[in-house]
Amino acid sequence: MSEPDPEAAATDTSAPRSYVESTIIMATVRVVSPFVFTYGLFVMFHGADSAGGGFQGGVIVATVMLMLGIAFGIDPLREWVGESALVGVVAVGVAAFLAVAVGTVALGGAFLDYSVLPIPHPSKYGIEAVELFIGVIVAGTITGLFFTIDAGREGDDE
């Protein structure tokens, strides 16, 4: 086993980002990611009738972003997503969940009492909507953790 000497290793790993462009990884991710994304949405929407739900589906959707980041570099992905878009997405998810919860009270029901919603099959679609909002919150937060941990603290990015 030939480890490089500690000093060389230190300069190696403290380089800003160790992104390695690999044709194999990029091609694989390009093929796999649409399917993983679809599967994540399936788990999110179909959680009402089979195993899964918003939390699991959201994590699976977030792994698509993780894959894209690993294959094509995290910095370009972060630029593509935009500076504050993720914070907005997560906040909108929480606000929408709260709106459903408070909305049912406003419509004369109990807190999160879906049956008063003015839609067909209110309970089923109310649950689906809430699962979707949970998925948005989870996917946004995990992608955000990914970006933020990669970037590290402001100023010590050497």
Partner 1 sequence: MNIELPLLAFVLAAALATAVLRDVLGAIIAFATYSLGVAVIWVVLQAPDVALTEAAVGAGVTTVLFLLTIAKTVRPSGERVFERLDVPALGVSVLLVGVLLATLGALPEIGSPDTAVLTSEVTTYYLDNAYSEAGVKNAVTAVLASYRGFDTLGEAVVVYSAGVGLLVVLGKEVFA
Q: Give me the residues that bind partner 1 (CB under 8 A), please.
A: 1, 3, 5-6, 9-10, 13-14, 18, 43, 47-56, 59-60, 62-63, 66, 70, 78, 83-84, 86-87, 90-91, 93-94, 97-98, 101, 111-112, 114, 121, 123-124, 127, 130-131, 133-134, 137-138, 140-154
Q: Is the dihedral of CA 113, 119, 121, 127 positive or negative?
A: negative
- Cβ 23 to partner 1 shortest distance, Å: 21
DSSP string, 15-37: SS------HHHHHHHHHHHHHHH
- Cβ 35 to partner 1 shortest distance, Å: 15
Helix residue ranges per DSSP H, the chain: 6-13, 23-46, 54-72, 74-81, 85-106, 122-151
- CA 38, CA 63: separation in Å to the nearest integer? 12
> How many Å separate Cα 143 from the centre of its chain?
5
Contacts of 122 (CB under 8 A, 6+ apart): 114, 115, 116
- Cβ 29 to partner 1 shortest distance, Å: 13
- Cβ 158 to partner 1 shortest distance, Å: 10
- Cβ 7 to partner 1 shortest distance, Å: 10
> Quick count: other Cβ atoms within 10 Å of Cβ 115?
12
- In the bound state with partner 1, the residue whose beta carbon lies nearer, of 18 and 23, is 18
- In the bound state with partner 1, the residue whose beta carbon lies nearer, of 27 and 110, is 110
- In the bound state with partner 1, the residue whose beta carbon lies nearer, of 29 and 137, is 137
- CA 95, CA 133: separation in Å to the nearest integer? 9
